[in-house]
Amino acid sequence: MNHEFNQLLLTKYRFVLGALITLVFCVGILSMSKEEYIADPMAVRCETVSLINDGSLTIPVALAQSFGERGQFFVENVTKEKWYCKYGILNSLMYLPALFIQKWHEGTLTYTSPSRVIYLNLFNLLLAMASAIYLFLIASRYTKREFVAFFYRRFKSEVQHSALKS
């Protein structure tokens, strides 16, 4: 039943959904960053690179010690004499698809790469469009009007605000 309902929604709202995806795509293209964000995100991506290249979460000692103040981005496990990113594994797993694609496309994956920003930007664009589709489908379950589904968040807050005034 859910599959049939989703097919019906996609058929009925094809134009509106296309407009929404186009809008999200254009905003995503216009807001792409020119450079990688340094500091915390770069430290997390170093752990992802280690995971892809070595199958390990450890960061090379030289890299960890040269990356900011001691303990700022990486922590040392003194008993194992290994360094780890202090932000946890979930953040590192988030970058796996984009960095896997970079390694597949370029053949190698280094800790820093000037071309990485394009892979990250395209991955963010893909996530934004997938999120827009998902939120549109959720909103479409609660309203029959495609205009309302398109602007569900704004419309919902205005209705709640006017109901409070009454």
126 and 109, same domain (yes or no): no
Distances in Å between the Cα of 61 and the Cα atoms of 7, 36, 73, 87 are 52, 23, 13, 17
**pTM of the model as a whole:** 0.73
- The confidence score (pLDDT) of residue 123 equals 93
Sign of the alpha-carbon torsion through 48, 51, 57, 58 = negative
The per-residue pLDDT for range 3-54, each reduced to its tens digit, is 665 666 566 677 778 888 899 999 989 988 888 777 888 889 999 999 999 9
Summarize the chain as % helix, strand, coil (round to 5). 65, 5, 30
107 and 48, same domain (yes or no): yes
Distances in Å between the Cα of 8 and the Cα atoms of 5, 13, 83 are 5, 8, 52
Residue 84 has which token pair? Answer: 């780890």
Write out the residue range of the structural domain in which residue 160 sits: 1-31+121-166
145 and 109, same domain (yes or no): no
Residue 108 has which token pair? Answer: 């190698």
71 and 87, same domain (yes or no): yes
Give the number of other Cβ atoms within 10 Å of residue 164's Cβ.
7
24 and 66, same domain (yes or no): no
107 and 42, same domain (yes or no): yes
Residue 158 has which token pair? Answer: 């205005």
Element (H, E) at 3: helix 2-12
> Domain boundary at 73, 96, 114, which?
114
Nearest to 19 by CA among 158, 125, 157, 146: 146
The per-residue pLDDT for range 75-132, each reduced to its tens digit, is 888 888 888 888 888 988 999 999 999 999 999 999 888 899 999 999 999 999 999 8
Domain count, the chain: 2
50 and 86, same domain (yes or no): yes
59 and 72, same domain (yes or no): yes
Q: Residue 162: what residue type?
A: S
79 and 129, same domain (yes or no): no
135 and 71, same domain (yes or no): no
Q: Return mean pLDDT, the chain.
A: 81
Is residue 83 within 8 Å of residue 43, measured between CB atoms? no
